[in-house]
């Protein structure tokens, strides 16, 4: 059972880093720091968008309009932190 919890924790941790990379990439793209016509940069951007957007879209629908400030990645990071804490502090002791 420990292996299952560790695998879920690893997947959530990896998704956290992908979410952070997506946020940083979007800032670099918005401020024109990276060359958007570069094929590699474009493919990395599409990958990050395709991986994070399905999870962020429902959060954005619920959040009020903040005038161009997107806090949905922060909300998702808080949800991931909550799930990891719930998993290790509540569920794992019950199962183990």
CB 34 within 8 A of CB 44: no
81 has a pLDDT exceeding 90: yes
Q: Among 75, 85, 84, 91, which residue's Cα sits nearest to residue 12?
A: 84
Q: What is the pTM of this model?
A: 0.91
**3-state SS assignment for residue 2:** helix
51 has a pLDDT exceeding 90: yes
DSSP string computed for 23-92: HHHHHHHHTT-S-TTSHHHHHHHHHHHHHHHHHHHHHHHHSPP-SS---HHHHHHHHHHHHHHHIIIIIH
pLDDT tens digit sequence for 52-64: 999 999 999 999 9
65 pLDDT band (50/70/90 cuts)? confident
């Amino acid at each position: 059972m420990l292996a299952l919890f560790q695998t879920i924790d690893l997947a959530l941790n990896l998704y956290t880093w992908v979410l952070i990379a997506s946020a940083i990439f979007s800032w670099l793209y918005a401020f024109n720091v990276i060359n958007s016509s570069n094929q590699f940069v474009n493919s990395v951007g599409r990958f990050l968008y395709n991986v994070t957007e399905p999870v962020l879209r429902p959060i954005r629908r619920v959040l009020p309009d903040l005038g161009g400030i997107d806090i949905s990645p922060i909300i998702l990071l808080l949800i991931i932190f909550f799930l990891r804490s719930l998993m290790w502090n509540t569920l794992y002791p019950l199962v183990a």
